[in-house]
Chain A
């Protein structure tokens, strides 16, 4: 194999596929990147058996061929080449020679026949199109609520389903739940999907900065994401996501609206005095229309902040995990946020005051 290519393009493609690689794999071939040079393109592939990525870049081909080389070394070499000239890559006698201007590097290769086959769906259950930024926004808005453990596979995933002209993204770890709706008009039937947490992170990294529209194909066990020059496949979880609409409190005892920035600022100070459980106390006073937030740590001290807030409903004193509260701000762009409390022992619903496309449910702490 011998090719010439623009280093920028190669570097970009390699850095994207490289993120999928499990560097601690048992099998050396899984820590490698596969180059396939054929026709007028070089296809760069990597996989960790959960997610697989293939990116094609246009190259000048002197001779076709296939070669696999360890990703880490390749990445380092490409990162350190400062030139923006043409790169020549050739496989000779079982090694990969990468040269540009006056620099030449020789990399080990691995027998390419061992490289896994990256599966493609033959008969998709459904195919639909989406803007990349919508997919990424949907996932990013909720992924922080997914569980890191996979005891319940559906909690260690992002759940995506289609309802009433929206694509809905949901994640929960059973203590809090985040939901983001993205408008999607399509006539296609989109079956509900569960994408494992880690796979979502990898997909986000591969899609970083991509502007185009993507086509998603879904089958029972995998999802394929394709757009020009790119192919991504991820395993799907076969499971059931609970019907969470049923647990959204029907009766709200207390509603408080905060200026988001005020809350963020107060919480920054209160974090200093959090105890080991991160307990944050809300003292909501209807008569005075104030909400006081408190944290206490017997070893460090106490923190307290009061805000003038319009209180609708009853006064309430209730505890939450501070982290669960602070996590939500990354997904709300509004200036004001509504906190709708279901009461002691019932969920709290947090939404932006203006945008209703994001909802967050969080359970209080047991007293």
Chain B
């Protein structure tokens, strides 16, 4: 099968030779093939006038020329497509000293709730999310078939919503033209409760069944909400049985969402489960650079490095960048590293100071063992593991020295501490469960 551009270019050059220049420019400019499906060529045209004209006057000609090149072509469909917003960084913005209305964040499409900013082009891929990204790519290549449902989980602020909305934005685009809907589970719950109260439950049930791609964010919110879970279960079945693509996201792995019905849990697990980790340093640098590009903001390397080192939450980073951009606009000149440090200090959430005792208590409670056993000499398995985890966290996150850790945890030798940290480090890579547990403990400590 020929690719879209080559096929259309050859047809255009044939047509160009057989009509006047003016005719060619008027009717054939801005046309292109957007997709091919089972012998049907989907041709994009800029407006309805062109569609009418090509269909009424040139359909047979175009069809013939297409079949001359590609025998498999059976028919042509004309699709009026939206004009592509020109890339802003290419066009020099006219200098205007008036500030801009802060509209940038409010371009949510009311029909499908998708934010046009969340696209693959603006999504930075790194080792922390490459698995999730690959899964999303597989979904768009074979929607409803490859990974259905796709379940993405990970702590807040690392890009889940961006990724799942990127799938949505791609699938609704002209190359796929699917009916897409995005919503949070909270909105689903509220809609359901409302429908029950107003006796409009049938309408509610029907509402979501017509979509080709259904995306639900933050499903952890459904924990404990039995009736809503049941409704979602039915919706899931209808969509799934019709090979419609379903995508879920959550801040936790399905096994850790409390009070989740088994049958819903098994549905969530029926396709592919992927996680998004907190981004590593290099990925954070890449993310900051990409966001600067999209915002037309120029930052020197030392500033970027400082920002990447100070925060690992992408949402917080974005907030910091927005503040920097805003202040740069107001002051009308680039900010110094010192000024930026001050901004970050003022705007970032205060990090809680934790004591070693608090960490020990939290971990002990988490594993349901008495706090005192951590300090004891005991080598019981159920105590050793939490103790090693405490050592790991103290070292990794709080950079406490090995001897100090050993001291605080019952007078142990620093080599024991080193060994424990290494062990946990290894096991995290191998055990999904351990990784989960440690992430949850870290969240509890925030």
Contact = CB atoms under 8 A, between A and B. Distances in A.
Contact of A119 (B49, B99, B329): B49
Given A27-B26, A116-B53, A172 B85 contact: no
Contacts of B99: 175, 345, 363-366
Interface string A340-367: 0000010100000000000001111111
B52 A244 contact: no
Interface string B68-81: 00000000000011
A68 to B, nearest CB: 15
A117 B26 contact: no
Contact of A117 (B56, B88, B91, B96): B56
Nearest to A153: B83
B354 interface: no
A320 B22 CA distance: 46
Contact of B49 (A116, A242, A246, A345): A116
A300 interface: no
A366 B22 CA distance: 47
Main secondary structure of the interface of A (DSSP, over half): loop
A26 B49 contact: no
A206 to B, nearest CB: 17
A321 B50 contact: no
Interface stretch (A44-52, A100-108, A133-141): A44-52
A247 B102 contact: yes
Interface in A203-224: 220-222
B332 interface: yes
Interface in A238-285: 238-244, 246-247, 277, 279
A242 B96 contact: no
A150 interface: yes
B83 A240 contact: no
**Which size class do B's interface residues fall under?**
35 or more
A366 B100 CA distance: 10
Contacts of B49: 47, 49-50, 52, 116-119, 235
A177 B101 contact: yes
B116 interface: yes
B98 A365 contact: yes
B110 interface: yes
A192 B111 CA distance: 10
Given A26-B25, A26-B26, A222 B48 contact: yes
A365 B100 CA distance: 9
Contacts of A49: 26, 47, 49-50
A246 B106 CA distance: 7
B263 interface: no
A363 B100 contact: yes
A175 B23 contact: no
Nearest to A28: B22
B96 A175 contact: yes
B370 interface: no
A339 interface: no
A50 B47 contact: yes
B77 to A, nearest CB: 14
A220 B80 contact: yes
Of B85, B88, B100, B103, most buried by chain A (CB within 10 Å of CB) is B103
A367 B330 contact: yes
A221 B106 contact: no
B107 A242 contact: yes
B51 interface: yes
A247 B103 contact: yes
B82 A238 contact: yes
Contacts of A118: 49, 52
B47 A235 contact: yes
A308 interface: no
Contacts of B100: 174-175, 363
Of A118, A235, A237, most buried by chain B (CB within 10 Å of CB) is A235
A172 B97 contact: no
Nearest to B26: A27
A222 B98 CA distance: 34
Contact of B101 (A28, A117, A277, A361): A361
Interface in A286-328: 320-321, 324
Interface in B22-71: 22-23, 25-26, 47-53, 56
A221 B80 contact: yes
A347 B101 contact: yes
A277 B97 contact: yes
Contacts of A364: 98-99
A242 B103 contact: yes
Contact of A27 (B23, B80, B101): B23
B332 A366 contact: yes
A30 interface: yes
A181 interface: no
Given A221-B48, A277-B97, A365-B98, A151 B110 contact: no
B51 A244 contact: no
Nearest to A233: B48
A37 B88 CA distance: 49
A152 interface: yes
A366 B97 contact: yes
A147 B86 CA distance: 14
Given A119-B51, A175-B96, A247 B106 contact: yes
Nearest to A361: B101
A156 B52 CA distance: 25
Contact of B47 (A172, A221, A320, A361): A221
A364 B106 CA distance: 20
B15 to A, nearest CB: 15
A282 B26 CA distance: 50
B308 to A, nearest CB: 28
B109 A174 contact: no
A363 to B, nearest CB: 4
A180 interface: no
A237 B83 contact: yes
B369 interface: no
B98 A172 contact: no
A176 interface: yes
B108 interface: yes
B108 A363 contact: no
A244 B100 CA distance: 13
B322 to A, nearest CB: 13
Given A237-B83, A247-B103, A366-B330, 8 more contacts: A117-B53, A151-B88, A153-B85, A242-B104, A243-B108, A279-B97, A364-B98, A365-B99
| Smallest CB-CB A-B distances: 6 pairs | A238-B82, A26-B22, A243-B106, A242-B106, A119-B48, A242-B103
8 contacts: A172-B101, A238-B82, A242-B103, A243-B106, A246-B106, A247-B101, A277-B97, A345-B326
